[in-house]
Structures are given as structure tokens and as C-alpha cells.
Structure 1
Amino acid sequence: MTDSVLRTVVRRETHSPRTGAMLLVVVLLILAAVYAAVEIVLALTGRQPLLVAPAAAVEALAALPMTVAPAGLIAAGAVIALVGLVVFAVGVSPGRLSRHEMAWGDRAVVVDNGVVASALAQHVSTASGIARENVVVGVAHRAVDVTVRPPVGVPVEAERLRQIVEDEVASYRLSPSVRTRIRVDRPRDAGREDPR
């Protein structure tokens, strides 16, 4: 498998398509077109419009600059432009899946964040001697959060724990890289974050 093919496969496995957002926009455009077509057909057959007749809508649109204050038109234009920018940004920016690329020799594998969290928690438990159920690890796109809850009376060296976590995360060679945050929650000071 060539490098370009491998990069393409990794990108597809770590990024989500914007199919949902595109489908929503297409459905809204179709509904608007169907509504306009129904109003035109009703006007051509001489029936009452659902909301507004096409001729009345065109007249109201033409008279809009005379009937609405310039500030209102500017505000409406700004809102429409903002909605357009949001739709454009959603369409262009890639979605993220809860996965990372991990270097494995000269190859790359895609691993789920849950697998990384489980492996890291097991390693921290084994290396520190703290029971596995007292180690909680969360992995996000750019961060790893490790919380250790040692039993009462069990001493924990925060610096040694930090070194264990950082060495293990570095050995995974994750892309994109992540920063680590380590907390030691003891019964008397639960919730206090270990300073970095």
C-alpha cells in the first residue's frame, strides 16, 4: 500500500463526513422549492395562497427598501450573511471521529480513543500499584485526562505519576498529539487538580 493511499485511509477513518449537514441543507432547499411551486400553481389556478401569493411577495420585496429602515435591512443582511458563513464553515471543515492515528513502526494504525484510554489506565495501574478501578482516563481529540483515586493511606508521588503517564502517551506516538492532565483525588481533597 502506498503512502498516499495509507494517508487517505487514515483520514477517512479519523474524520467524519458532513453528510448530515449537507442532507439538512438539501432538504430545506427542496422544501422551499416545493412551497414556491405550490404557491405558483395556486396563483395560476386562481385559488387562495397558502401563505402569500407570488405577485404579492414580489411587490412586498420591491417595496422593502421604502418600508423598512436601513438599519433593519443591514441587520437582516448581517444575519443572513452569518447564517451563510456558518453553513459554509460546517461544509468545509472536517468532522472528527473519536479516533487517533498511532505510529506503529513505519506503519500507522487507527485506534479508538476508548482503546487508548483503557490501555493507558491499565499501564498507570500496573506501574503505580494503584488498583485499576481507581484509575480513570478520558481521551479527547487534543487532551488526555487521568484521574487517580488512591485509597486512604496510600501515598502517591504526583511527579512520578505524571512521568508514567507522559512516557506512556509519548510511546503511543498519537497524531494529532495530545496534552496530558493528571489529577490525584484523595478523600480529603477530592476534586483538587494536580498543578502543572
Structure 2
Amino acid sequence: MKRFRGRSAWLLAGLALGLLAGVGSAAAIMFATRPAASSQFSWPQGVPLSASTATSSETMAIATGRVDDQVEGLVTLDFITGDLQTFVMNPRTGKLVGWFKTNVTTQLPVDKSKKPAYLLSTGSWEPVGFSSQQRPAGCVVYVADANTGMFYAYTFPWIKGAASTGITQSTPMLPLDGGKARNITLRAE
């Protein structure tokens, strides 16, 4: 009888394992033959995909933003100096061909009793009413002062043809407009 129980246990274990393998195989076949959610939408051919990103530390923030349909820029904001800069690369050579700079403390004065704390983000826009020589970049840079709640938007002039020929562009960044996102005053404790 003892011998029969051992064999029975092995037989039951084998049957259970076989049953699990069968169910797993059936589920895998069903999953593999079911249309994937991503196959319901495909990205149109020839339409560029653009993504922006941003990150920061205690003293600096960086972000990327689309400058035109071929290049993006790297935006840096130094919290210590207030310097906002955008660097743009030539898409053919991988060398920097654009450098644009301003100081945000002109529009966002620093409270000397507080450590500067900024937020940085970029957005896309299609400016209208500008000549090709004076056309702003397709990137708007947004800077917010986390201490005061004030924010300001910046851009820079961009000549698309100059970048592809390797001509360096370097001008001050242009302040566009700003406002206040916080309607209360924070007191220092």
C-alpha cells in the first residue's frame, strides 16, 4: 500500500503538471493570436515623432525642445547665476551651431533671503507673422520661480538654413511673456 501511495502521488503530480502546462500553452496561443492593442494604431510614415524631456538638481535644470523639424536644442538653467542657455547641434555634423543666452533674473528677480528654486520646461509652437530671417525657433522655454510663483516664456531667432550649412548662430534669447501661477505669498519661517 505504501508503494501504491508513492506512485499515486507521482501520478497525481504528473497529471497536475501536465494540466498546468496544457492550460499555459492554450493561454499563450490565445494571447499570441489575439490582435495586439498597438496594432490597432500605426504611426503614419514620414511623420516625425518629437519628445521633450527635463530634469534638475539643486543648482541646475536641463531640458530638450524642438527647434525646427530637423533639430532639437538642449536648454540649461543655472540656478546660481540665473543664466538660461540653449545649445543646438548641426544634424549632419553633430557639432554645435547654435548658442542662445539670457539671464532670467531680469524677468524673475531673486529674493536674496531665499535659495533660488526654478522649474524648467519646453513647448512647441509655430510662430506666425515673421519673415524667414526673423522667425523664432519652434521651441518655447518656460521658466518658473518656485519661490514666488512667477513664470516667464523665452525663445530665440532661428534661421533653419544656416544650421544645415554649418553657420553658427548666437543671439540673446528673447523674453516673450510671463505671469504669476501662485496667488498666495509664502512667508519665510
Q: Same fold (TM over 0.5)?
A: no
Report the TM-score when normalising by structure 2: 0.24
Higher share in helix? 1
Report the TM-score when normalising by structure 1: 0.24
Higher share in strand? 2
